[in-house]
Structure 1
């Protein structure tokens, strides 16, 4: 959509758009009123049944794992046993309340957003889409939410607890609390909490009028010029609502600052414990106010930095030293530009671009966008491994029927990511080379906290792979070793046919493989991952049977076909959303 130029053009664009917008808003609200209660009921009662039904097992198994684990020391274990009843009792209450809010929010906003999305660019027969989009798809989405919650509480939760109770390695030490450090930490907390609450709340109140006026000014300018959040039709109702409710947003910001000040005050006690210094705890108490002031200045486009004192709160040589984020970003940018100049002869690649519509923009910012490439890669590499016999019929059947089988659910994604790291290292990429023309870097990676924890280690592993300088024979052999061997110690690769006899290189590769398998294990616990991987395993199973690659069980085959037929309607909208006509790239794989 082109932005109008000139005052009269902007005014005419605003006036002509208002009737159209009001009709869409009324239609979206009517559909939300009709569909919202049913969707909220599905999410609320479905999630509540799962949470309440599994709560006794969660309570019992959590205590068992905490008591038998060797990863935490005696003092911390006693403290955990005493304090665990409170969070375990609050878990079902908070989860049920969150399910109610999520059900109501999804049931209201999904049909409303779909109504405005139906009149976007590139959509034919917009009238029918305004009435049909966001009805059955919202109900199917609610069922998927219940399914993902079930997978999380039934599989991911127990996986977390089982990992806690696993035996430690020889180089690991149990995590415990030093009682001698606690008195000074408590004393710092007693001083820091009231002071930080008072100072941070005062700063928030002082800057709240500026936040109110600047927010109104920016939103009103965008409204008249049809720019910013008002550029896309689907964003207009929410942007217009933001103008009306902006004072409440300012009040919510002040309240959030007040609540976060308690956390910052408590964190001062943690700093005193980590640094074993009463002085460092007090230094963070003062620096926290300056950090908050600097953050609000950046948020409101005021002066850079802060006029408040910001003492150092980490000792020299501390592993958790203070980092200058601005300097790091500049160094990263300079390094990337330097690498692009040095390797300018390589094939140009394009970065991930923001989607044109609001719904696609949301998908871009979610980790699921990266998963699309990972699952597509698992599908393609799964066919290859099946044809080579590295994945057997029993492996797929075990995962489909019992939900277990690390060879399929952990080792296959780990191999796909490892292959991505090898390609990125060979092309001397400064990011992750997902395909020949797409490169994921720090600048276009989805802004998600969980995936930020994944990107950093992957970039480190990529640099390690670059230093190893693998040959083609070694890369080919790795595919077999990662799927068939344990990779726990160098002797596991004896008589395996690995071309290199360098024991150091073998140990480094085994460490990288173990790290990747750990990353995949954590990714598999995120809601939605298990459901999508199970669908992938079913598709591979049926395809392998039809192609004659494996001789599957008739019972399992009938079950898989019945499950696919049941879920086909639920997944239809997801498939349509990923089609090329809707602007989402396909065929971009980690291969």
Structure 2
């Protein structure tokens, strides 16, 4: 995108707006510092009480529903019980610190957002709203979050587990795992984790300078022309902060690309299991590098396609692999 016409006029308008922006930002930060402890206290106490109070019920009902369900066979039940145990323990460990962190983030950012939103179009007495907005609404918003989480943990969770317990399998035959295909699937996953981890890292590092300079160019052009993320007044502080923190965003994108190699590489196990073929699983591992390279080219507006090979990793392109499990006869 080229800079808009009237460059100096747009730049002058931006410089005139800069003092208002700084004033609103300082006011929003002050409000955030004052409101944050109370919002954090409400969310930390409320969410922690929900997590601790409902955790024993979640444990008992989860085990009961998995054991009683007729949808899966004994091997899958055993795996589900192991996974459920790890998830429940992790939920207890992460949930309480996460509720405190969520309260801090919400209590600090909500008043800042409300302060910039107070000067938007259609607001009467914007000067008063700059001081009032984001104070009591943040407190009530914290209570709303606690209530919504309560509905999720108390009503939605038990409803989902009841569906698992009461749902009958098709043809009254439970789903089960084919044990003979497990070694090939594990080998495909291991190869995928190694190859994708190395190649995704190299591709991400190679393309990170392109993302850095293209992102800076686009953000600066939008800042001068008051377009894109700078169009709405409430988004101006975060858009301006994005220019300063864009290198960290690039580093985060590189790390995210490296981390994405874990699920994408491990998916080779799913392909090998679904196709009952180690060759197909390894073909997917090789093709996933090409898929990732082509995707990053599209995101960064680079030359389409990829220099890496893309092999055929499905025996039938039109086959449906929605059910990754099979019948007990697979034993």
- TM bracket (short chain): over 0.9
CA contact (8 A) 2:169 2:175 kept: no
Q: Secondary structure at the match of 1:295?
A: helix
- Structure 2 residue aligned with 1:10: 10
Q: Does 1:19 align with 2:19?
A: yes
Q: CA deviation at 1:281?
A: 0.6
Alignment of 1:414-433 (within 5 A): none
- Structure 2 residue aligned with 1:265: 265
Q: Secondary structure at the match of 2:40?
A: helix
CA contact (8 A) 1:4 1:13 kept: no
Distance change in 2, residues 1:247/1:167 (3 Å): closer
Distance change in 2, residues 1:295/1:101 (3 Å): farther
Gap runs ≥5 in structure 2? 323-331
- 1-side partners of 2:170 and 2:293: how far apart? 45
- Structure 1 residue aligned with 2:327: none
- Structure 2 residue aligned with 1:95: 95
- Structure 2 residue aligned with 1:189: 189
Alignment of 1:172-571 (within 5 A): 173-316=173-316, 317-320=318-321
Alignment of 1:82-161 (within 5 A): 82-161=82-161
Q: How many residues align?
A: 319
Q: CA deviation at 1:4?
A: 7.5
Distance change in 2, residues 1:109/1:127 (3 Å): same
Q: Secondary structure at the match of 1:63?
A: helix
Indicate the structure with greater helix content.
Answer: 2
CA contact (8 A) 1:4 1:226 kept: no
- 1-side partners of 2:4 and 2:271: how far apart? 53
- 1-side partners of 2:272 and 2:172: how far apart? 24
- 1-side partners of 2:112 and 2:229: how far apart? 16
- 1-side partners of 2:244 and 2:167: how far apart? 56
User: Which shifted more, 6-15 or 143-152?
Assistant: 6-15
- 2-side partners of 1:78 and 1:228: how far apart? 51
Q: Secondary structure at the match of 1:306?
A: coil
- 2-side partners of 1:24 and 1:41: how far apart? 26
- 2-side partners of 1:303 and 1:167: how far apart? 49
Q: CA deviation at 1:202?
A: 0.7
- Structure 1 residue aligned with 2:41: 41
Q: Secondary structure at the match of 1:131?
A: helix
Q: Deviations over 1:347-390 (max 9, x none)?
A: xxxxxxxxxxxxxxxxxxxxxxxxxxxxxxxxxxxxxxxxxxxx
TM-score (norm 1): 0.53
CA contact (8 A) 2:274 2:321 kept: no
- 2-side partners of 1:170 and 1:219: how far apart? 53
Q: Deviations over 1:156-192 (max 9, x none)?
A: 1111111111051663532221101101001111211
- 1-side partners of 2:244 and 2:118: how far apart? 25
- 2-side partners of 1:258 and 1:179: how far apart? 31
- 1-side partners of 2:169 and 2:263: how far apart? 33
Q: CA deviation at 1:78?
A: 2.0
Q: CA deviation at 1:320?
A: 3.9
- 2-side partners of 1:87 and 1:244: how far apart? 38
CA contact (8 A) 2:192 2:285 kept: yes
More relative contact order, 1 or 2 (CA 8 Å, 6+ apart): 2
CA contact (8 A) 1:314 1:320 kept: no
CA contact (8 A) 2:66 2:77 kept: yes
User: Which shifted more, 148-157 or 99-108?
Assistant: 99-108
Q: Secondary structure at the match of 1:84?
A: helix
Q: CA deviation at 1:146?
A: 0.4
- 1-side partners of 2:101 and 2:309: how far apart? 41
Distance change in 2, residues 1:170/1:304 (3 Å): closer
- 2-side partners of 1:117 and 1:314: how far apart? 51
- 2-side partners of 1:195 and 1:244: how far apart? 34
- 1-side partners of 2:44 and 2:294: how far apart? 41
Q: Deviations over 1:313-366 (max 9, x none)?
A: 211142149xxxxxxxxxxxxxxxxxxxxxxxxxxxxxxxxxxxxxxxxxxxxx
Q: CA deviation at 1:221?
A: 1.1
Q: Deviations over 1:230-271 (max 9, x none)?
A: 111111100011011111111111111111101111111111
